[in-house]
A and B are shown apart, each in its own frame.
With several copies, the nearest count.
Chain A
């Protein structure tokens, strides 16, 4: 093990393994309104990650004893296609998918005016067709737009961004390769950018308080970049343009963001 060539996660010129800078996101494409049958939907590519999110509802909550008279249930289903990972995944949902569904649904619920829809269900389906680190955040980001597309009133769009550590560096939007670093720490983060409220936050690994302080600021900045892309995708859909494909080269986008901050 000690003999393996050590990987340099950020080189002297500040470049990561894929050429990005520490605070730079991978290329992202977003298209709102892709599933004709759904009340709202979104297709999102984030690096190699490919996600389709669809929303059905609000609709009557059945069976009735699971209805909430104070507001809508938000049922979030995060699932990975069998071919979306390196080893074929068993099609049945695993414990990881169930946990991600739970925390993602709770994150969205924090942004939805659920009280306007008592005794209903809002079903949010997120399917991952290709993956390379960061799928839960890609899914949540797409799901947030599918909710807007479905006309569900929200206190703000939920925007997510992973931040973490690899090779001693704090980095946004880790790739699979970076997540496999021996000291890797992965911090999925989602906020309502307008208020900086944290609605999803998870973390595993060994992280010092000072590292967290730096990471959370980079993560929030990343979420704000995502928000701009989300808004752009929504305006394309709702200005009635015939949307074919929305390619946002994030590398140039993110440079602009850097200047703004």
Chain B
């Protein structure tokens, strides 16, 4: 049943795209409205609720004490996890994380890590012994497509709001007391595109994702770096070099607007 409804929806979307339109009347390079609400949990060290159109996720930051990796004795670490809560969609269920949720979490994680968004040496407490591991947990509340971008901006915002817990003289966490804010060195933001027919659309709805033949995501920073690519998509689609160039251009433009609006970057 569910499947048949999606098939009909997909047909409609594909036809509309052929006429250079989207069902919700957006331009191909136009995002849905975004709302961010921070400080949604007094138990989290930082948190953010994201509404991207009807897509909604909750992100919380918790920093815990850990030991450094052998090859990075003076660096702390981050860990991004994502749970596709069944609250958000009849297609989600509890259990081991799906490959989709793992992919999303890992793309967001690498996006922050490899872009060096944080100075990881500032997460070191005692070299070779004690570090902060900053957990970012993403929970879906409503799935209407493009969980990638909603998660990306939610994590960045929650991080930008997060404080490290205060430690006592024995380096034990003092509950509900906080130290300095985490400082962001860069603000990488992800932009996700899908291909429907020969058109490339930014910020797909769930219906557009299902109607698409391939997906492509790009993270960019304020200092003009591309920091992540991820091509995916369940159908038999591909991208040309020209299409990717077009996506890169849109991604830079869009990320700049979002950084201005939500992170006060000019």
27 A–B contacts from the bound complex (CB under 8 Å): A41-B87, A54-B86, A81-B41, A81-B139, A83-B43, A83-B44, A83-B47, A86-B43, A91-B81, A95-B105, A99-B99, A99-B106, A106-B233, A109-B234, A110-B237, A112-B236, A127-B139, A130-B43, A131-B43, A191-B238, A192-B238, A197-B238, A201-B231, A202-B228, A202-B229, A202-B231, A204-B110
B201, CB-defined interface residue at 8 Å:
no
Instruction: Pick the interface stretch among A24-32, A208-216, A252-260.
Output: A208-216
A243, CB-defined interface residue at 8 Å:
no
- Chain A residues near B9: list those with CB within 8 A: none
Q: Is the CB of B103 within 8 A of A99?
A: yes
8 tightest A-B contacts by CB?
A83-B60, A197-B238, A203-B229, A204-B114, A83-B44, A130-B41, A88-B62, A201-B231
- Chain A residues near B229: list those with CB within 8 A: 187, 201-203
A192-B238, A203-B229 known; A84 vs B88 contact (CB < 8 Å): no
- Chain B residues near A109: list those with CB within 8 A: 234-236
B227, CB-defined interface residue at 8 Å:
yes
Q: How far is the CB of B131 from chain A (nearest CB, A)?
A: 15
A77, CB-defined interface residue at 8 Å:
yes
- Chain B residues near A79: list those with CB within 8 A: 85, 94
Q: How far is the CB of A155 from chain B (nearest CB, A)?
A: 8
CA of A77 to CA of B226 in the docked complex: distance in angstroms?
29
B225, CB-defined interface residue at 8 Å:
yes
- Chain B residues near A199: list those with CB within 8 A: 231, 238
Q: How far is the CB of B152 from chain A (nearest CB, A)?
A: 14
A81-B60, A88-B64, A206-B115 known; A212 vs B99 contact (CB < 8 Å): no
Q: Is the CB of B137 within 8 A of A82?
A: yes
In the complex, which residue of chain A has the Cβ closest to the Cβ of B227? A206
**Which one, B60, B86, B238, contacts A82 given CB within 8 A?**
B60
Q: Is the CB of B86 within 8 A of A83?
A: no
In the complex, which residue of chain B has the Cβ closest to the Cβ of A125? B87
Instruction: Pick the interface stretch among B24-32, B140-148, B255-263.
Output: B140-148
CA of A157 to CA of B169 in the docked complex: distance in angstroms?
51
**Which one, A37, A99, A129, A192, contacts B40 given CB within 8 A?**
A129
The total of chain B residues at the interface (CB under 8 A) is 68
- Chain B residues near A225: list those with CB within 8 A: none
The total of chain A residues at the interface (CB under 8 A) is 64
Q: How far is the CB of A125 from chain B (nearest CB, A)?
A: 5
- Chain A residues near B224: list those with CB within 8 A: 208-209
0/1 string, B106-122, CB within 8 A of A gives 1: 10001101111000000
The dominant DSSP class at the B interface is mixed
Q: Is the CB of A198 within 8 A of B61?
A: no
A106-B234, A197-B240, A198-B241 known; A204 vs B228 contact (CB < 8 Å): yes
A10, CB-defined interface residue at 8 Å:
no
A123, CB-defined interface residue at 8 Å:
yes
State which residues 179-235 of A face B: CB under 8 Å.
Answer: 187, 191-192, 196-209, 212, 216, 220
B90, CB-defined interface residue at 8 Å:
yes
Q: How far is the CB of B127 from chain A (nearest CB, A)?
A: 12
In the complex, which residue of chain A has the Cβ closest to the Cβ of B237? A110
0/1 string, B232-248, CB within 8 A of A gives 1: 11111111110010001
A127-B87, A192-B238 known; A198 vs B60 contact (CB < 8 Å): no
CA of A84 to CA of B106 in the docked complex: distance in angstroms?
22
Q: Is the CB of A200 within 8 A of B231?
A: yes
Q: Is the CB of B240 within 8 A of A198?
A: yes
A22, CB-defined interface residue at 8 Å:
no
In the complex, which residue of chain A has the Cβ closest to the Cβ of B88? A37
A96, CB-defined interface residue at 8 Å:
yes
CA of A12 to CA of B5 in the docked complex: distance in angstroms?
62
CA of A37 to CA of B86 in the docked complex: distance in angstroms?
10
